[in-house]
């Protein structure tokens, strides 16, 4: 079996097709392109390295956040390229993605698809950060999902109170999270070549959700 | 591969059984196990040293399976693996209904020869459409027919019942068959399927789903060959009757142990748990829990509410019982105002408490006032705020008096038995006295045999009730 990694821009195109909200990322190949996109978006932007060989973008210093001017975007492009070349010279780099910064006030959710040796494609959902990494607070289901499964996945999480709102923070839109899970499940049914899919993070707000980063591994024949 | 229901029916309800290759070295395990079989039993053995011993057991021995003058419904093959293929070919020629291959040494080992032989056997069985159970397994049991897969298994009316057991492990299957009847759980059919190369857990689930004698299915599984097929079988079965799944190998070390046992692939515990819930089945992590939940489901109460009304005799146990039910995911709410009004008519608040739990030792006089116990239970039964009822008898403090005054125990058990009959809510009674374990067990047995669901601890009671309620919630679409 041969596999190919989809970069953020390719993976997000699939998500958009499936009706999953994403922050639209555009590819810049030069500092000038990065500046032009930032200028056009007219809001604070995030720049991220785009490379099929790089999974952990932050670890390679391949991410710059909250850039408010075109000049800052161009400078960030250079800085990212330099940092990545210094740390992983052999990585095939397509460029840098430029996208609007997501507003603050969200709870980070992680959604993933993987292949289990016995059960095939399964979908995972958890809360970002320590909840997944340290506490392994995640819920799994086989794909395809029924609406009840999506609801139960969220109620199984020990971190559920964070989604329901703690310390005066409002609850996030749980229905939007469930809807996203069902749409990811539909996407995998439509495109069975997906071996892995990571939506990390998905930002959950009181009125909506949005996937701000994505990657996929697909089977190619 | 799929077999017809008729093939399974014949395999699980045989009239004629043949055991091939049982011998003294094996302690005549199979011939002894089948001593109480109600049908006709044959032994197939060519060794002249073994034949007289077999005949001394009163079993007819023939030198070839083909010499048996009648149709054979079910055969157990206990020959060395090197000749297993040849014996299976005989079974095919004889048109045996189903074959258990007890013989081990196949894919569960790393030995390439074992793996090759297993493939050879599996493809021969598939080509002949032979229902092959195993290899590396203990096969089929049907206590009603005295068909056992181990000596001294309980048989007949006392052991027969409505729980079907499916086991990937022979030992877990046998011990379940031994233990369940002792705890009041009768078995309809059981199967240990080992490597399951031709028929596996999914096939047995489908058969038990259609089996009218089976109302609750219990299973021990380590891994499955075709996960999707298993999941679909589990889901369609759980939609008709409860399925309780005990998964072995939920830790990394446990998964390594699985590999050398049944060679099943590893699925993370969290994925397995999600799959079980998605299918609408009940997941458990021990034989104790498997039996607890089976007993609770057999009681036939299909309540879907989570609100527990609790009664204990003294303060500490009422606190711990409340914790146990809460931790299991049940609510312990205040009772309705109408209930409190009725309680105030007779409840002894001194030395007690009438919120929920009802700390009722004084009111019931530690069991001396069975009439008051019945009144308390009836109040919980009629209370619309309450869905399930738990009672801790405080047996540790009462058991000495019960032993000295059996008539007291009798009045109390009568009250509980009669309540269990008139109430339709799930009703769990906790009765244990660790300093008099035999007397406590006798007390539980007395209650159990008369239809009262009993437990040794509030935690086990709470978990079993919660799991049973969860099954019916999923069935009813309650969230």
Read off the pLDDT of each residue in B4-15 and give the average, rounded to a whole number.
97
User: Which pLDDT band, with edges at 50, 70 and 90, does B258 fall under?
Assistant: confident
Do residues B341 and B387 share a domain? yes
B176: distance to nearest CA of chain A, Å? 26
B177: distance to nearest CA of chain A, Å? 29
Which residues constitute the domain of residue B417? 302-476
Do residues B163 and B78 share a domain? yes
Answer whether B376's CB lies under 8 Å from B358's CB: yes
B221: distance to nearest CA of chain A, Å? 13
Which of B173-177, B264-268, B403-407, B425-429 has the weakest average pLDDT? B264-268
Read off the pLDDT of each residue in B281-291 and give the average, rounded to a whole number.
97
- At residue A109, the pLDDT reads 96
Contact yes or no for B228 and A119 at CB 8 A: yes
Do residues B35 and B119 share a domain? yes
> Residues with Cβ < 8 Å from B365, sequence gap 6 or more?
B372
| Average pLDDT score, chain B | 94
Which of A191-195, B255-259, B458-462 has the weakest average pLDDT? B255-259
Domain count within chain B: 2
User: Which pLDDT band, with edges at 50, 70 and 90, does B267 fall under?
Assistant: confident
User: Which pLDDT band, with edges at 50, 70 and 90, does B265 fall under?
Assistant: low
Contact yes or no for A119 and B267 at CB 8 A: yes
Do residues B378 and B469 share a domain? yes
Q: What residue spans of chain A are helical by DSSP H?
A: 8-17, 31-41, 70-87, 130-133, 147-156, 160-164, 174-190
pLDDT in tens, B188-245: 999 999 999 999 999 999 999 999 999 999 999 998 989 999 999 999 999 999 999 9
C-beta atoms surrounding B163 within 10 Å? 29
Q: Which of residues B234, B264, B297 is at a domain's end?
A: B297
| Average pLDDT score, chain A | 93
Residues of chain B in contact with residue A117, where contact means CB-CB under 8 angstroms, are 265-267
B150: distance to nearest CA of chain A, Å? 31
Residues of chain B in contact with residue A141, where contact means CB-CB under 8 angstroms, are 274-275, 278
CATH number at residue B408: 3.40.50.261
- At residue B262, the pLDDT reads 62
Q: Is A154 on the interface with B (CB under 8 A)?
A: no
- Give the C-alpha separation, B237 to B14, whole Å: 24
- Give the C-alpha separation, A186 to A123, whole Å: 11
Q: Which of residues B273, B297, B321 is at a domain's end?
A: B297
Answer whether B394's CB lies under 8 Å from B314's CB: yes
Of B223, B227, B273, which is closest to A120 when you measure between CB atoms?
Answer: B227
Answer whether B346's CB lies under 8 Å from B360's CB: no
Do residues B170 and B248 share a domain? yes
pLDDT in tens, B139-166: 999 999 999 999 999 999 989 999 999 9
Contact yes or no for B275 and A140 at CB 8 A: yes
Check whether B367 has a pLDDT greater than 70.
Answer: no
**Nearest chain B alpha carbon to A114:** B271
Read off the pLDDT of each residue in A175-183 and give the average, rounded to a whole number.
98
- At residue B366, the pLDDT reads 67
User: Which pLDDT band, with edges at 50, 70 and 90, does B261 fall under?
Assistant: low
Please give the domain boundaries of chain A with CATH numbers for all domains: 24-100 (3.30.1490.20), 107-220 (3.30.470.20)
Q: Roughly what angle, to the nearest 10 degrees, separates helices A147-156 and B269-279? A: 140
Helix (H, G, I), strand (E, B) or coil at A11: helix
Give the residue among A93, A64, A69 at the shortest CA–CA distance from A80: A64
- Give the C-alpha separation, B477 to B470, whole Å: 10
A149: distance to nearest CA of chain B, Å? 6
> Residues with Cβ < 8 Å from B349, sequence gap 6 or more?
none
Q: Is A117 on the interface with B (CB under 8 A)?
A: yes
Q: Across the beta sheet with B139-141, what order do the strands follow?
A: B139-141, B187-192, B160-167, B216-221, B243-247, B282-284
- Give the C-alpha separation, A90 to B237, whole Å: 53
Read off the pLDDT of each residue in A200-214 and give the average, rounded to a whole number.
96
Instruction: Quickly tell me which residue has 């105030």 as its tokens.
Output: B344
Do residues B259 and B391 share a domain? no
Do residues B272 and B376 share a domain? no
3-state secondary structure chain B: CCCCHHHHHHHHCCCEEEEECCCHHHCCHHHHHCCCCCCEEEEECCCCCCHHHHHHCCCEEECCHHHCCCCCCEEEECCCHHHHHHHHHHHHHHCCCEEEECCCCCCCCCCHHHHHHHHHHHHHHHHHCCEEECCCCCEEEEHHHCECCCCCCCCCCCCEEEEEEEECCHHHHHHHHHHHHHCCCCEEEEEECCCCCCCCHHHHHHHHHHCCCCCEEEEEECCCCCHHHHHHHHHHHHCCCCEEEEECCCCHHHHHHHHHHCCCCCCCHHHHHHHHHHHCCEEECCHHHHHHHHHHHHCCCCCCCCEEEEEECCHHHHHHHHHHHHHCCCECCCCCHHHHHHHHCCCCCCCCEECCCEECHHHHHHHCCHHHHHHHHHHHHHCCCCCEEEEECCHHHHHHHHHHCHHHHHHHHHHHHHHHHHCCCCEEEECCCCCCHHHHHHHHHHHHHCCCEEECCHHHHHHHHHHHHHHHHHHHCCC
Name residue B247's beta-bridge partners: B221
**Nearest chain B alpha carbon to A144:** B278
- At residue A22, the pLDDT reads 97
Residues of chain A in contact with residue B225, where contact means CB-CB under 8 angstroms, are 118
Contact yes or no for A119 and B271 at CB 8 A: yes
Residues of chain B in contact with residue A147, where contact means CB-CB under 8 angstroms, are none
Do residues B289 and B308 share a domain? no
Residues of chain B in contact with residue A139, where contact means CB-CB under 8 angstroms, are 270, 274
Residues of chain A in contact with residue B268, where contact means CB-CB under 8 angstroms, are 116, 140
Mutation target for A interface from B274, B283, B329, B479: give the one with most A CBs within 10 A.
B274
- Give the C-alpha separation, B123 to A184, whole Å: 39
Of A119, A138, A152, which is closest to B231 when you measure between CB atoms?
Answer: A119
ipTM of the modeled complex: 0.91
pLDDT in tens, A64-123: 999 999 999 999 999 999 999 999 888 889 999 999 999 999 999 999 999 999 999 999
Read off the pLDDT of each residue in B403-417 and give the average, rounded to a whole number.
93
Q: Which tokens sit at B181?
A: 């009847």
- Give the C-alpha separation, B197 to B457, whole Å: 40
Please report, rounded to a whole number, the percentage of residues in chain B having pLDDT higher than 90. Answer: 86
- Give the C-alpha separation, B115 to B109, whole Å: 8
- Give the C-alpha separation, B320 to A130, whole Å: 32
Do residues B306 and B290 share a domain? no
Read off the pLDDT of each residue in B406-425 and give the average, rounded to a whole number.
95
**Nearest chain A alpha carbon to B229:** A119
Longest dimension (CA), chain A: 52
A20: distance to nearest CA of chain B, Å? 23
Answer whether B237's CB lies under 8 Å from B217's CB: yes
Residues of chain A in contact with residue B271, where contact means CB-CB under 8 angstroms, are 116, 119, 122, 140
- At residue B355, the pLDDT reads 86
Residues of chain B in contact with residue A116, where contact means CB-CB under 8 angstroms, are 227, 267-268, 271
Name residue B250's beta-bridge partners: none
Of A117, A141, A156, which is closest to B265 when you measure between CB atoms?
Answer: A117
Instruction: Quickly tell me which residue has 């029916």 as its tokens.
Output: B9
**Nearest chain B alpha carbon to A147:** B278
Check whether B350 has a pLDDT greater than 90.
Answer: no
Torsion angles phi and psi, residue B45, rounded to 5: -155, 135
pTM of the predicted model as reported, rounded to 2 decimal places: 0.93
Do residues B58 and B165 share a domain? yes
Of B230, B264, B271, which is closest to A122 when you measure between CB atoms?
Answer: B271
Check whether B3 has a pLDDT greater than 70.
Answer: yes
Contact yes or no for A120 and B274 at CB 8 A: no
Do residues B267 and B307 share a domain? no
Residues of chain B in contact with residue A140, where contact means CB-CB under 8 angstroms, are 268, 270-271, 273-275
Q: Is A147 on the interface with B (CB under 8 A)?
A: no
Contact yes or no for A142 and B479 at CB 8 A: no
Longest dimension (CA), chain B: 82
Q: How many CB pairs under 8 A join A and B?
A: 55
Answer whether B88's CB lies under 8 Å from B132's CB: yes
Q: Which of residues B247, B275, B297 is at a domain's end?
A: B297
**Nearest chain A alpha carbon to B231:** A119
Do residues B263 and B322 share a domain? no
pLDDT in tens, A2-39: 999 999 999 999 999 999 999 999 999 999 999 999 99
Contact yes or no for B231 and A148 at CB 8 A: no
Is the four-CA dihedral A118, A124, A130, A135 of positive or negative sign? Answer: negative
- Spacing of C-alpha B19 from chain mean position: 27
- At residue B68, the pLDDT reads 98
């Amino acid at each position: 079996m041969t596999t190919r990694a989809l970069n953020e821009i390719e993976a997000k195109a699939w998500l958009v097709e499936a009706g999953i909200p994403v922050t639209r990322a555009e590819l810049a190949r030069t500092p000038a392109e990065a500046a032009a996109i930032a200028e056009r978006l007219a809001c604070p932007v995030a720049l991220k390295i785009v490379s099929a060989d790089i999974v952990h973008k932050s670890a390679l210093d391949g991410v710059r956040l909250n850039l408010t001017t075109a000049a800052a975007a161009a400078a960030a492009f250079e800085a990212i390229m330099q940092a990545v070349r210094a740390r992983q010279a052999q990585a095939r780099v397509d460029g840098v993605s430029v996208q609007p910064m997501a507003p603050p006030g969200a709870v980070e959710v992680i959604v993933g698809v993987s292949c289990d040796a016995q059960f095939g494609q399964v979908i995972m959902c958890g809360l970002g950060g320590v909840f997944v990494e340290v506490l392994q607070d995640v819920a799994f289901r086989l794909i395809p999902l029924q609406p009840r499964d999506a609801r139960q996945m969220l109620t199984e999480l020990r971190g559920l109170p964070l989604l329901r709102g703690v310390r005066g923070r409002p609850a996030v839109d749980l229905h939007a999270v469930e809807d996203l899970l069902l749409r990811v499940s539909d996407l995998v049914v439509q495109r069975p070549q997906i071996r892995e899919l990571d939506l990390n993070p998905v930002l959950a707000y009181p009125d909506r959700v949005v996937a701000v980063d994505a990657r996929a591994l697909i089977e190619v024949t | 591969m799929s077999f017809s229901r008729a093939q399974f029916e014949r395999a699980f309800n045989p009239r004629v059984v043949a055991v091939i290759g049982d011998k003294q070295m094996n302690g005549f395990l199979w011939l002894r196990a089948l001593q109480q079989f109600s049908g006709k039993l044959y032994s197939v053995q060519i060794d002249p040293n073994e034949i007289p011993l077999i005949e001394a057991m009163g079993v007819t021995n023939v030198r070839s399976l083909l010499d048996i003058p009648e149709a054979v419904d079910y055969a157990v093959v206990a020959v060395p693996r090197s000749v297993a293929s040849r014996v299976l070919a005989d079974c095919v020629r004889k048109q045996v209904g189903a074959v258990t291959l007890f013989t081990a040494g196949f894919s569960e080992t790393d030995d390439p020869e074992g793996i090759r032989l297993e493939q050879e056997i599996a493809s021969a069985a598939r080509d002949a459409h032979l229902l092959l159970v195993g290899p590396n397994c203990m096969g089929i049991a049907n206590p009603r027919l005295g068909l056992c897969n181990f000596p001294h298994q309980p048989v007949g009316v006392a052991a027969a019942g409505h729980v079907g057991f499916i086991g990937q492990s022979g030992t877990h299957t046998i011990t379940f068959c031994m233990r369940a009847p002792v705890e009041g759980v009768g078995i309809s059919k059981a199967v240990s399927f080992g490597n399951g190369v031709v028929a596996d857990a999914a096939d047995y689930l489908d058969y038990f789903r259609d089996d009218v004698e089976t109302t609750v299915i219990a299973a021990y599984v380590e891994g499955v060959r075709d996960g999707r097929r298993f999941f679909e079988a589990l889901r369609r079965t759980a939609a008709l009757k409860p399925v309780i799944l005990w998964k072995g190998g939920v830790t990394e070390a446990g998964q390594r142990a699985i590999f050398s046992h049944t060679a099943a692939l590893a699925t993370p515990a969290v994925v397995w748990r999600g799959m079980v819930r998605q299918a609408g089945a009940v997941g458990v992590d021990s034989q104790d829990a498997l039996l607890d939940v089976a007993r609770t489901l057999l009681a036939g109460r299909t309540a879907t509410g989570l609100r527990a009304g609790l009664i204990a005799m003294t303060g500490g146990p009422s606190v711990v019982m409340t914790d146990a039910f809460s931790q299991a995911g049940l609510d312990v709410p205040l009772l309705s105002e109408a209930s409190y009004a009725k309680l105030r008519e007779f409840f002894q608040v001194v030395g007690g408490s009438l919120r929920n739990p009802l700390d009722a030792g004084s009111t019931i006089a530690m069991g001396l006032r069975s009439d008051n116990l019945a009144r308390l239970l009836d109040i919980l039964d009629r209370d619309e705020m309450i869905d399930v009822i738990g009672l801790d008898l405080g047996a540790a403090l009462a058991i000495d008096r019960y032993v000295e005054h059996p008539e007291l125990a009798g009045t109390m058990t009568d009250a509980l038995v009669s309540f269990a009959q008139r109430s339709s809510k799930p009703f769990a009674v906790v009765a244990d006295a660790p300093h008099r374990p035999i007397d406590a067990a006798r007390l539980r047995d007395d209650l159990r045999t008369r239809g009262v669901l009993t437990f040794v601890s509030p935690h086990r009671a709470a978990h079993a009730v919660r799991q049973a309620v969860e099954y019916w919630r999923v069935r009813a679409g309650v969230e």
